[in-house]
Chain A
Amino acid sequence: MSSLATSQGAEQTAQSMPGQPRRNPFPNSASGSETSSPRRTRDNVNGWGFAAPFLAFFLVFLVWPLLYGLYMSLTGKSLTGANDSLIGLANYAEALADADMWHSLGNTLYFTVISTVPLVLVALAMAALVNVGLPAQWLWRLSYFAPYLLASTVVSLFFSWMYNPQLGLINDSLAKIGLPKVAWLNDPNVAMWSIVIATLWWTVGFNFLLYLAAMQNIPAQHYEAASLDGAGAWRQFFSITLPQLTPTTVMIALLQILASLKIFDQVYQMTAGGPAGSTRPVVQYIFETGFTGYRLGYSAAISYIFFGLIVAVSAMQFFITRRRSA
C-alpha cells in the first residue's frame, strides 16, 4: 500500500486542509526581530531537543541500515558468515551480468507499466461516476475502497481461490458463457495479468478516493457557468473536470509507478514468482538471494541497483512536479 512523494508531493497535499491560506512552507519563527544570544541558544536546544526522539529512530533504523547496506554490498558477506572482506564492486559487476537479475527487473518494470494505466483510469472512472451524485454515497465508497483495507495475504487467498483452474469461480463463469478456461496463475503469458487484476481490485480504491477528493475541490462556479452555456455532462467532464484534475492525475500516476515498482507481496503469495520465473519481481530476487541463497552482500548490491531505479523515477517526478508548479 505504499507510495512515495518528494517534498513537492508533500507540498501538494495542501489542498487537504480547508479554509486555510497557503503559507510559505519555510516560515520564519515568530517575528525574528531581536534574536538575542540566549534566546538563540534556547532555540537551538529546544529545536534539537524536539527533533531528538525522531532523529534517534531515524539514525538507528534508517540511516544506519542504509549506509551499512552500502558497505555490505561491497563485501562477500553471507548468512553463513563466509567472507566479510571488502571485494570492491565485484557484486555489482556480477549483478549486471546476472540474467536472473535482469529478468526480475524486467518483470518489475513490466508489472509497473501494465498496472499503472488501469489503476489510474479505473480510479478516475469510479470517481467520475460517484461524483455525479449517486444515491447512497457511502455504499459506493465502501465497495470500491474496502479491499484497500485488506492485508496482501487476504487478497492473495481470495484470488488464488477464484483463479483456481478447476474449482475456481472465474473459470466456472467463463465456462458458463461458453468461453475457454484460463490457467490464470500457471500460464507464463497470463500470470502477470492475473496479478494485475488482483492488484487493481485491491488498491484502486485508494486512487479512487484521491480523485474523488480532488473532484470535490473543484469550485461549483466552473460548472454553473458551463451549464448556462448549455454544456452537457460529458462536455463538462472533458472540458472542466479533467483539465482541473491534471495535477492530481500526474501525482497519482507517479505515486502509483513508485508503488508498483515495489511489488512483492501478492506475487510471492500467489505465484511465488512462477511459473518459470515469469512473475518474479526484483524485490523477490533480493529476498531470495539474501535469505534463501544466504548471499547478503550480493543481495545488498541488487538492493542498491533497485534503489537507483527508484531514485531515477523519483527524480523524474521531482522535475515534472516542479515544472508544473513553476
Chain B
Amino acid sequence: MATHTLTRPAPRSTSAAQLRQPRKKMTVGRAAVLAVAAILAVLWIVPFAWATVTAFKSETDAAAPKVSWIPPSGFTADAFIKVFQDGNIPLWTWNSLYTSAAITVITLAISALVAYALSRIDFRGKKVLMTVIIASIIIPPPVLIIPLFYQMVALHMIDTSWAIILPQVIHPAMVFVLKKFFDQIPRELEEAAVMDGASRMRIFTQIILPLSRPILAAVAIFVFISAWNNFLWPFISTNDGSILTLPVGLQTIKSAYGIQYAQNMASALLAALPLILVFLFFQRQIIKGVATTGLAGT
C-alpha cells in the first residue's frame, strides 16, 4: 500500500486521517475533480467568510441595502468590542466549557466501568443488563424533555448547572463502543495479574485503561462535542442568564440585538471559535474519533 500524503507523514495504520492513493496520473480527470472539490469548498467557506466580513463592519454598513464584501467606511472591530463588553459571551463560553467538561468526565468514567463489566465479568443478569442498555439506544432525547423537566422541578435543579449536566451523561451507544474495544484486548495480559490476585478494579485501572487511550479519547471527543452544542435540553432547563450555555445564550442575543447584524455575527463567530481552534490543533484525533464513534452515535 503506497501511502504518502502531501501534507504530513502518514499516520500509523488505517486511521481515518490516512490517505490511500490509488496511483493516478495528473490528468484532465484529476483537474476536474480538483475543480469540483474546490467549488464545494468555496461554497462551504462562504457562510463563515460572510459572517466574518459582516462582524467587522459598522452596524450602518452591515445593514446597508447594498451588499459589500469591502465596507464603504472600512473594517472595524466595534462589534466584537461591544459584544465583549456585554460580557455575556465570555461567561457563556465558560459555562459551556465546565458543563461539557463535567459531562465528558462523568460519562467516560461510568461508561468505561460498566463496559468493563460487560466485557470481562461473568455476573448474573449480565445478558439482561446488556439488552436493556442496547434497547435504550433508540430512545430519542426529545421524548424525555417533558417528564425530565417535571423531575428536575421536583429535585429543585431547574436553573442550576446540575440540570444541564446530569441528564447528559448517559450515552448507551458509547458504552458499546468501549465494550467492543475492551473485547479486543487480549486476555493474556490480565491473566498474570489475576494469578497474582489483583483486584478487578486494579486490573481495570492499571491494564485496561492505559491500553484504551485511543478509544477513550474518541468517546471523549464525541461526548464533548455533543454536550457543547446541545440546545434543546439546556434551553428548557435554564432561564437564568448567568448559567446559560453558549448555544442557549446566543438564542437570547438574537432577540435582544434584533437587527444589529454586525453584533449578531460577532457573537456567532466568538461562540464558534473555541471548537474550531480545538479542531485545528487536534484535527487528526477528532476525525479519527468521529470515524470510530460515528456509526454508533446517539
A: residues with CB less than 8 A from B are: 1-7, 9-14, 16-21, 23-25, 27-30, 32, 35, 40, 43-44, 46-51, 53-55, 57-58, 60-66, 68-69, 72, 77, 125-126, 129-130, 132-147, 149-154, 156-162, 166-169, 172, 201, 206, 209-210, 212-213, 216-217, 220, 223-224, 227, 232-233, 236, 251-252, 255, 258, 261-262, 264-265, 269, 283, 286-287, 290-291, 296, 299-300, 303-304, 306-307, 310-311, 314
User: Is the beta-carbon distance between B226 and A2 smaller than 8 angstroms?
Assistant: yes
Complex CA distance for A66 and B172, rounded to whole angstroms: 15
A-facing residues in B155-207 (Cβ within 8 Å): 166-167, 169-170, 172-173, 175-177, 180-181, 183-184, 187, 190-191, 194, 200, 204
Task: List, sorted by A's number, 25 A–B pairs whose CB atoms are closer than 8 Å.
Answer: A2-B298, A4-B140, A13-B293, A17-B181, A17-B184, A30-B194, A40-B124, A43-B121, A46-B200, A47-B124, A62-B170, A77-B150, A133-B24, A134-B37, A147-B47, A149-B229, A157-B267, A158-B268, A161-B265, A166-B65, A169-B46, A206-B290, A227-B23, A258-B140, A269-B251
Asked if A13 contacts B123 (CB within 8 A), the reply is no
Are B117 and A157 neighbours in the complex by a CB distance under 8 Å?
no
- Against A, the Cβ 8 Å flags (1 = close, 0 = not) of B46-72 are 111011001000000001110100000
Q: Chain A residues near B48: list those with CB within 8 A.
A: 146, 158
Closest to B126 in A: A47
Name B's A-contacting residues (CB within 8 A): 1-2, 5-8, 13-16, 18-24, 29-30, 33-34, 36-37, 40-41, 44-48, 50-51, 54, 63-65, 67, 106, 109-111, 113-114, 116-126, 129, 133-134, 136-151, 166-167, 169-170, 172-173, 175-177, 180-181, 183-184, 187, 190-191, 194, 200, 204, 215, 225-226, 228-229, 231-232, 236, 246-248, 250-251, 254, 261, 264-265, 267-268, 271-272, 275-276, 279-280, 283, 287, 290-298
Chain B residues within an 8 Å CB radius of A17? 180-181, 184, 215, 292
In the complex, what residue of chain A is closest to B155 when comparing beta carbons?
A: A60
Question: Is A146 within 8 A of B122, CB to CB?
Answer: no
B19 cross-chain contacts in A, Cβ below 8 A:
133, 137, 216
On whether the beta carbons of B146 and A290 are closer than 8 Å, the reply is: yes
Instruction: Assess the B44–A143 pair: CB atoms within 8 A.
Output: yes
Nearest-CB residue, chain A, relative to B44: A143
Q: Which of A5, A47, A201 contacts B123 (CB 8 A)?
A: A47
Q: B5 contacts which chain A residues (CB < 8 A)?
A: 137
Contact B13 A19 (CB under 8 A): yes
B75 to chain A, nearest CB (A): 17
Q: Report whether B297 and A54 are in contact in the complex, using a CB–CB cutoff of 8 Å.
A: no
What CA separation (Å) do A284 and B142 show in the bound complex? Answer: 9
B149 to chain A, nearest CB (A): 7
Least CB separation from B200: chain A residue? A46
* B247 and A66 form a contact (CB under 8 A): no
A246 CB to closest chain B CB, in angstroms?
Answer: 14
Contact B170 A57 (CB under 8 A): yes
